[in-house]
Amino acid sequence: MRSRPFLFLGALFAGLAVVFGAFGAHALKGLLDRDQLVVWQTAVTYQMWHALGLILVAGLEDDPWSRWSGRLMAAGILLFSGSLYLMVLSGTPALGMITPFGGLAFIAAWFLLAWSAWRKRHA
């Protein structure tokens, strides 16, 4: 079954989102300013939603479009959320230049998932 890796990644990324959320709420709260905490929370939120998206993809009938959707969701988590985490922890705002590529991966992933569903309905 090809969807197994997406279930694994979705569960892993969801668990890490909880860890990173708790880390931000407790360990980083006194160390970061309000704006940095908002950026951190944005990374956690997008990571969790797309981890759930990966779990959704894992439960669908396997086709090339849904597989690419899952791949792009995973890449989006790494690029979008990962760049925001690194930007906050390192204090390097230039890492924010990577973030839009993750956002584009998220957008493409959802459109590919919609395309997959549409094709199945009209097949």
Q: Which amino acid is at 68?
A: W
pLDDT single digits (tens) 111-122: 999 999 998 777
Q: Ramachandran region of residue 91, left (φ > 0), alpha (ψ -120 to 50) or beta?
A: left
Residue 9 belongs to domain with CATH number: 1.20.120
For the chain, the domain total comes to: 1
pLDDT single digits (tens) 37-80: 999 999 999 999 999 999 999 998 889 999 999 999 999 999 99
b/e map 87-118, b = 16+ CB within 10 Å: bbeeeeeebeebbeebeebbebbbebbeebee
**pTM of the entire predicted model:** 0.93
Containing domain of residue 83, as a range? 4-121
